[in-house]
């Protein structure tokens, strides 16, 4: 669908790369961390998504001939542009598994490559991972509430242009069952789903006739939209007539769809009409500005809705719209590196790292992840990353490293899991997260700390920069 | 950059098209309106964008062989899928000019084609036009405040995946001067711009040395980021040293960039340090979570900032994130068509239409657009579209039709204007919009009404559906 090349980047990556190139630093090694600072939606967790799209792209990413010709028209040194013509990423990447439950501050992914390579891939890495993680997280929140109800993505028309393609995919990682987006369905093997538009009914002189044509032509896959003129006086009665005609032909109406008005009220009234007509097998689908909060309300009212179609609020990750994921230098030219900020919370954490998740005695997440030096194996105590006197003993917890090598020498080390496998992993991991982190209102804060060794290293670097 | 094909659509478009096809309605004509219901950002206007990208795509849009093979695996009739293999859009489109100042309710674009054609292009039309209009509108709001200051788009890393490509372009329509997004710069001929990242400085043992390398290697295009360690004690003094060294070589430091802290405070302090060093030509660029409101505050404080770099809030159209543009059937099978809703505001307006903009005696927009029947030429009175007893005489105003034929028989009737021409048109049109519609707080509401003739037609259709 997309022809990404390495000009899908910010200019400054190229400007910096040119300086490194002209200074003879083409072999200088660097380590960058990818992490975010704020969990979206004021929530208690996020779902990491987009990794395998990114890795597959990265294996083949280069500058096209057209790119090179363009760069020669810009303010670059010709020898540098010629170097870019053969550029390929040949580094190493360690990352959490795609679908993992992740938290703020903690590195989700670490790139180890030449500093030129690491810079040139920064923008596309952030662009793809930030967005898919944002949407998978949104979808997983909706899934937590909708439970076993069917969830369909209807958002493409309001998506941020071609961003909608990845939104449909990330929604499945978060727990959606299908999408109306045919191209995403085709490319990612997602069940495609859809009903009919008001225009179909309007184009006929009679709603009944429109329903009838739809039912005879799509006997196995018929959902009738019942709110074009009057839901209870016209739409549902006509749907019932057509359902009876379908029964006479040995077919079954799948569902009706409500797309306006008070969905709880219309669902209950429609359910009654359908049941009274002996059509208890006909499902009810609902759409119209749904999000996790509207669905929570509908579920609490026991609205007899079987299928939720979610559009805009899902695919644009409303209200946040962006994950604030960043990519920060942790090591370069043989030394740990830091960026100082007036607030410790924005001071970066140096060094190659590992992240340990701790487990309680029941095998659930204990509520504490520890960022450690790469070579550490078991953590005794973790320290609050920004508040100097807070710490927590974690020695007694089972600990599991979260960062695994996913790319070596520019090649993926394993084949990509299927979308369904990623979704299953998300489901399994979320089941280990205690409820208090999943609630929408003031969720419990999952602790992310740093090991004693890493804290000493960071504080030493801060002191050396202060002098 | 993108290989859009006609599977970039919602499944229901294909489901409905199959019914039309199997019912022999391949020649049935329909007319659809594209319009939005709510101006984004609680603003007083929107800027129409994305038209020419859409038209260029549409001229060549088809199903690929891979698409056809995929559709044959889904629940479709084989004769219908074979029909799709040769499908091309051959209809007519009338639209406002790209860059036009537009308002809610009023059709911005009208598609007249076979109903199958009109349905199959709906999703991609909405997807592209909604998003670019959202971003061009955001950018134009920022431009209104920033006036002659330089505006740069730095948003790609936080954009909604590949949506960022079009965001960078739409920003220019709205008034931005350049982008960090190299691929958009290349494809749309936008000046590319950028500075350096904190990582560049961190990768050196000394900030001064990092600045020096950057300056010697990019003598014509050097902007130094001064907040990695300590803006006033380290960053700016080092930048001054390097600027002096550049002067000695006959070069000039372009600017410094501030990316954290209180931008007004640091800009003023930095300006003083630069001026005292005889470097009044060195500009100050600022970035970090900017939007039209932060820039308004900085401007009101007379912060000495010359260049604003705007990222996330621009490219995701924060806080709205989506324009609620819709595509509604107005005419089909030789008859005007309507969708009734419980509220008149969501009842659609039938018929082929024209939109007239009215001008006051100074040649400015008078604050009233009239939606009329296509064949009307001058409007006497306009009626509030939803409130039955409100009307306004407009006979005395100069009136200008806004919808022009842009595509005929599936081909564009004119070559696409350049991005710079579209931006110039936006600028000229916005200059005709009185100030009270441009303010951010409770802007005056631009009136959009319907002509007497159109009102009569709509009310007649509503009555006939009520019976």
Query: Each residue of B151-207: pLDDT tens digit?
Result: 999 999 999 999 999 999 999 999 999 999 999 999 999 999 998 999 999 999 999
Q: Do B5 and A333 touch (CB under 8 A)?
A: no
Contacts of B229 in chain A (CB under 8 A): 339-340, 465
Contact between residue B314 and residue B155 where contact means Cβ atoms under 8 Å apart: yes
Helix (H) or strand (E) holding A311: none
Same domain, A294 and A327: no
Please name the residues in contact with A420: beta carbons below 8 A apart, sequence gap of 6 or more. Answer: A172, A189
Q: Is residue A264 part of a domain?
A: yes
Helix, strand, coil percentages (3-state) for chain A, rounded to 5, are 40, 20, 40
**Does A462 contact B at CB distance below 8 Å?**
no
Choose among B122, B164, B337: nearest Cβ to A127.
B164
* Mean pLDDT across chain A: 96
Contact between residue A134 and residue A322 where contact means Cβ atoms under 8 Å apart: yes
CA dist B195 → A84, A467, B221, B224, B226 (Å): 19, 27, 9, 7, 11
Q: Where is the domain boundary, B260, B290, B315?
A: B315
- Distance (Å, rounded) from C-alpha B331 to C-alpha B340? 14
- For residue B354, the SS3 value is strand
- Distance (Å, rounded) from C-alpha B128 to C-alpha B53? 8
Q: Is residue A262 part of a domain?
A: yes
pLDDT of residue B199: 96
Contact between residue B325 and residue B35 where contact means Cβ atoms under 8 Å apart: yes
Q: Which of B138, B202, B230 to mutate to test the interface with A (most CBs of A within 10 A)?
A: B202
Please name the residues in contact with B268: beta carbons below 8 A apart, sequence gap of 6 or more. Answer: B303, B304
pLDDT of residue B315: 98
DSSP, residue by residue, B238-267 = HHHHHHHHHHHTT----EEEE-SS-HHHHH
Chain mean position to CA B418? 15
Q: Is residue B1 part of a domain?
A: no
- For residue A350, the SS3 value is coil
Which ranges in B175-206 belong to alpha helices (H)?
182-188, 198-202
Tell me: the pLDDT tens digits for B27-44? 999 999 999 999 999 999
CA angle at residue A107 from A102 to A111, to 5 degrees?
A: 130
Contact between residue B310 and residue B291 where contact means Cβ atoms under 8 Å apart: yes
Burial of B187 (0-12, 13-18, 19+ CB in 10 A): middle
Domain count, chain A: 2
Tokens 């006959």 sit on residue: B250
- Distance (Å, rounded) from C-alpha A82 to C-alpha A68? 8
Contacts of A328 in chain B (CB under 8 A): 198-199
Same domain, A129 and A24: yes
Phi-psi region of A270 (alpha: psi -120 to 50; beta: other; left: phi over 0): alpha
Of residues B387 and A138, more confidence is placed in A138
- Distance (Å, rounded) from C-alpha A381 to C-alpha A287? 49
Tokens 């599977």 sit on residue: B7
Sheet of A447-451, strands arranged across: A391-393, A381-383, A447-451, A365-373, A353-359, A398-401
Span B126-143, mean pLDDT? 98
Same domain, B190 and B262: yes
Q: Is residue B5 part of a domain?
A: no
Tell me: the pLDDT tens digits for B211-246? 999 999 999 989 999 999 999 999 999 999 999 999
Q: Is residue A268 part of a domain?
A: yes
**Does B261 contact A at CB distance below 8 Å?**
yes
Choose among A10, A19, A325: nearest Cβ to B194.
A10
Nearest one of B108, B14, B55, B6 to B410, comparing CA atoms? B55
Contacts of B316 in chain A (CB under 8 A): 160, 316, 321-322
Task: Name the residue of chain A whose CA is nearest to B159's CA.
Answer: A127
Burial of B86 (0-12, 13-18, 19+ CB in 10 A): exposed
Per-residue tokens: B251: 């070069």
Helix, strand, coil percentages (3-state) for chain B, rounded to 5, are 40, 20, 40
Same domain, B87 and B22: yes
Per-residue tokens: A29: 């090694």
CA distance B130 to chain A (A): 7
Task: Name the residue of chain B whose CA is nearest to A259's CA.
Answer: B341
Same domain, B147 and B290: yes
Q: Is residue A171 part of a domain?
A: no
Show the beta-strand stretches assigned E in B88-187.
92-95, 101-102, 109-114, 150-153, 178-179
pLDDT cut 90: percent of chain B above it? 95
Please name the residues in contact with A163: beta carbons below 8 A apart, sequence gap of 6 or more. Answer: A131, A315, B159, B160, B161, B162, B163, B164
- Assign B465 a pLDDT band (cuts: 50, 70, 90): confident
- Distance (Å, rounded) from C-alpha A168 to C-alpha A171? 5
Same domain, B326 and B366: yes
- Domain extent at residue A119: 11-135+321-466
Provide the CATH number for the domain around residue B357. 3.20.140.10
Q: Where is the domain boundary, B267, B287, B315?
A: B315
- Distance (Å, rounded) from C-alpha A63 to C-alpha A61? 7
CA distance A267 to chain B (A): 17
**Does A72 contact B at CB distance below 8 Å?**
no
**Does A220 contact B at CB distance below 8 Å?**
yes
Please name the residues in contact with B12: beta carbons below 8 A apart, sequence gap of 6 or more. Answer: A180, A194, A195, A196, A197
**Does B5 contact A at CB distance below 8 Å?**
yes
By DSSP bridging, strand A255-258 and strand A223-225 are parallel
Give me the residues of chain A with pLDDT under 70, please.
none
pLDDT of residue A330: 97
Q: Is residue A163 part of a domain?
A: no
Tell me: the pLDDT tens digits for A130-181? 999 999 999 999 999 999 999 999 999 999 999 999 999 999 999 999 999 9
Count helices and strands in chain A by DSSP H and E runs = 16, 21
Q: Which of A31, A78, A137, A160 to mutate to test the interface with B (most CBs of B within 10 A)?
A: A160
Same domain, B114 and B193: no
Tell me: the pLDDT tens digits for B411-431? 999 999 999 999 999 999 999
Task: Name the residue of chain B whose CA is nearest to A12's CA.
Answer: B194
CA distance A93 to chain B (A): 18
Q: Where is the domain boundary, A305, A332, A347?
A: A305
Tell me: the pLDDT tens digits for B263-289? 999 999 999 999 999 999 999 999 999
Q: Which of B160, B255, B337 to mutate to test the interface with A (most CBs of A within 10 A)?
A: B160
Q: Do B3 and A8 touch (CB under 8 A)?
A: no
CA angle at residue B358 from B353 to B362, to 5 degrees?
A: 160
Q: A-B interface: how many C-beta pairs under 8 angstroms?
A: 323
**Within 13 Å, how many C-alpha atoms sit on residue A70's CB side?**
21
Nearest one of A168, A174, A160 to A45, comparing CA atoms? A174
pLDDT of residue A345: 84
DSSP classification of residue B409: T
Please name the residues in contact with B298: beta carbons below 8 A apart, sequence gap of 6 or more. Answer: B263, B264, B267, B286, B305, B308
Per-residue tokens: A392: 């927590």
Same domain, B334 and B424: yes
Show the beta-strand stretches assigned E in A115-259.
150-153, 178-179, 223-225, 255-258
Nearest one of B79, B76, B60 to B5, comparing CA atoms? B60
Nearest one of A462, A442, A355, A275 to A106, comparing CA atoms? A355
DSSP, residue by residue, B6-65 = TTSSBHHHHHHHHHHHHTT-TT-EEEEEEE-SS-GGG-S-EE---HHHHHHHHHH----H
pLDDT of residue B342: 74
Q: Is residue B78 part of a domain?
A: yes
- Distance (Å, rounded) from C-alpha A117 to C-alpha A83? 12
Burial of B381 (0-12, 13-18, 19+ CB in 10 A): middle
Same domain, A346 and A434: yes
Same domain, B166 and B309: yes
CA distance B316 to chain A (A): 6
Same domain, A299 and A325: no
Please name the residues in contact with A275: beta carbons below 8 A apart, sequence gap of 6 or more. Answer: none
Nearest one of A327, A279, A325 to A304, comparing CA atoms? A279
pLDDT of residue B438: 98
Same domain, A334 and A457: yes
Residue B127 pLDDT > 90: yes
């Amino acid at each position: 669908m997309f022809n990404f090349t390495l000009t899908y980047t910010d200019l400054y990556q190229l400007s910096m790369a040119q300086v490194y190139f002209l200074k003879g630093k083409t072999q200088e090694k660097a380590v960058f961390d990818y992490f975010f600072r704020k969990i979206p939606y004021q929530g208690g967790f996020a779902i990491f998504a987009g990794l395998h799209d990114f890795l597959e792209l990265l294996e083949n990413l280069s500058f096209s001939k057209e790119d090179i010709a363009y760069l020669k028209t810009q303010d670059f040194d010709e020898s540098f542009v010629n170097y870019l013509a053969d550029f390929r990423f040949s580094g190493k990447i360690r990352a959490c598994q795609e679908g993992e439950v992740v938290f703020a501050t903690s590195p989700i992914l670490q790139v180890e490559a030449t500093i030129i390579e690491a810079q040139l891939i920064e923008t596309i890495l952030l662009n793809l991972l930030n967005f898919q993680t944002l949407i998978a997280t949104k979808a997983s929140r909706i899934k937590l509430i909708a439970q076993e109800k069917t969830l369909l993505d209807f958002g493409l028309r309001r998506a941020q242009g071609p961003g909608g393609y990845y939104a449909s995919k990330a929604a499945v990682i978060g727990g959606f069952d299908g999408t109306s987006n045919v191209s995403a369905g085709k490319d990612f093997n997602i069940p495609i789903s859809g009903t009919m538009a008001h225009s179909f009914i309007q184009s006929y002189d009679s709603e009944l006739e429109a329903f009838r044509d739809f039912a005879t032509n799509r006997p196995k896959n018929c959902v009738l939209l019942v709110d074009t003129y009057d839901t209870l006086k016209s739409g549902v009665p006509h749907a019932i007539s057509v359902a009876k005609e379908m029964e006479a032909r040995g077919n079954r109406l799948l569902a009706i769809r409500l797309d306006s008005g008070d969905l709880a009220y219309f669902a209950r009234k429609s359910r009654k009409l359908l049941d009274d007509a002996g059509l208890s097998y006909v499902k009810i689908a609902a759409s119209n500005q749904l999000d996790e909060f509207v669905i929570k309300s509908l579920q609490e009212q026991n609205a007899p809705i079987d299928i939720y179609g979610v559009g805009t609020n899902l695919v644009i990750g409303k209200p946040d719209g962006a994950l604030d994921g960043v990519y920060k230098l942790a090591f370069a030219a043989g030394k740990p590196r830091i960026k100082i900020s007036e607030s410790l919370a924005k001071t970066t954490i140096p060094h190659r790292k590992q992240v340990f998740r701790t487990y309680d005695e029941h095998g659930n997440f204990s509520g504490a992840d520890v960022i450690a030096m790469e070579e550490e194996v078991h953590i005794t105590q973790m320290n609050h990353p920004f508040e100097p006197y807070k710490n927590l003993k974690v020695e007694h917890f089972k600990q599991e490293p979260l960062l695994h090598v996913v790319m070596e020498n520019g090649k993926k080390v394993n084949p990509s899991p299927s979308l369904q496998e990623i979704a299953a992993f998300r489901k399994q991991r979320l089941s280990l997260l205690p409820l208090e982190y999943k609630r929408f209102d003031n969720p419990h804060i999952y602790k992310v700390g740093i090991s004693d060794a890493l804290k000493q290293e960071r504080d030493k670097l801060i002191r050396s920069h202060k002098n």
